[in-house]
Structure formats: structure tokens, C-alpha cells
Amino acid sequence: MSTRTGVLLVLFALAVQGCVDVTVQGYGDLTYPLDGTSELHVSTYPAWYASEESSIPFLYKSLRTPDSVYFQVFVREAGTEAGPNPHIDSITIHSFSYQFPGQAPVELVADFQGNFWAQGDPEDNPDGVGPVQVSTNWYLQLNIDLTLNGQRHQVDERVQAFEREYRRPLILHSMR
């Protein structure tokens, strides 16, 4: 068998093999500039693994994340995605709360000393505040009060709920 035939067989196999559709729910990210060298980044991640909604063995699988999420707050170096922030001498997140329209605010963080906080982490969330419901076509109002290097910052921003779908080959999904 020639190399060309082998490549064509692999491409054919990938074309006819099954696929997986994944629906992910959450709230949009918030990135807020703080002092020119640091920025506040707030994001969500699913509160649990995606569950199977439907399946045809070896051909198709449909997965959906739960309709609840956890928040994470990160004061990072401006323009970066991850890694340490060399511009932090001191930081205190005095409070971080969210609020659905027409409802009372829910405080998630109070007087946290650090530049990264994750709601689903037992060390960061010892009171065990549960996940936040995702309601499609709704929004949350986020309120964050923090002091970075002696300068106070107050953020009051809205984040919109989303539902994102993507498709990938079933073989790639099963290799995870």
C-alpha cells in the first residue's frame, strides 16, 4: 500500500466516523483593567462534568454541561492568560458578589488575601457556597471590591449568560 493510499484511508475513516456534540453553559468572561500592569479576570466553569443526553453507539453522542457554574477570580498580569503576576505587592479581595435581576446579592468572597480564587475549591470556599444557576437569556451583575498595591478598585459590571455548542470527532473525544 502506498503512502498516498494510507493517507486517503485515514481521511476516509475520520470522515465517516462518529461525532460528539457538546453544549456548554456559563456566563461571559469579564476582564477589567486595574492599574496598567494588572487586570481583573472573572470567568465561570461548569459545576460538574457534562452528562450524556443522547447516543448512538460508535456514531453519535450528545453531551450537555449542568445548568450551574462556579466562578473564578484572577488578578493577572495585563495581557496574559496565566502565570504569576510580578506586579502584586499586596492584594485583598474585600468582597465579590453576584446578583440576579430583582434579587438580593449573594456574596462569594470576603477579605480574601490572594490573586486567584476559585469557588469550587474547598480551600478557597470553606463555607461551601453552592454553584450559581445559569439561566439562558439572563445576566448577572458582578460587584467586586479589592485593594491592589494600596489602591482601591470597585467593579460593578454585567455578564451575560451563554450557551455554546461545538462538535468534534467521537474518536478524539474518547481519547481524552
Per-residue pLDDT at 57: 73
Can you give 129-148 as a three-state secondary structure string? CCCEECCCCCEEEEEEEEEE
The pTM assigned to this predicted structure is 0.80
Domains of the chain, earliest start first: 18-174 (2.60.40)
Q: Is 16 exposed, middle or buried (0-12, 13-18, 19+ CB in 10 A)?
A: exposed
Task: Annotate 85-103 with b (16+ C-beta within 10 A) or e (fewer).
Answer: bebbeebebebbbbbeeee
Residues in the chain: 176
- Cell triple for 11: 481521511
Per-residue pLDDT at 170: 65
pLDDT tens digits for range 56-104: 776 778 888 888 999 999 999 999 998 889 999 999 999 999 999 999 9
Per-residue pLDDT at 51: 67
Per-residue pLDDT at 123: 73
Is 41:76 a contact under the CB 8 Å cutoff? Answer: yes
- Local confidence pLDDT in tens for the 176 residues of the chain: 678 887 766 666 555 567 878 888 999 999 999 999 999 999 998 988 876 777 677 677 888 888 899 999 999 999 999 888 999 999 999 999 999 999 999 999 899 999 999 997 767 766 667 899 998 889 999 999 999 999 999 999 999 999 888 777 765 555 45
Per-residue pLDDT at 78: 93
Distance, in Å, from the CA atom of 39 to the CA atom of 113, rounded to the nearest integer, reads 16
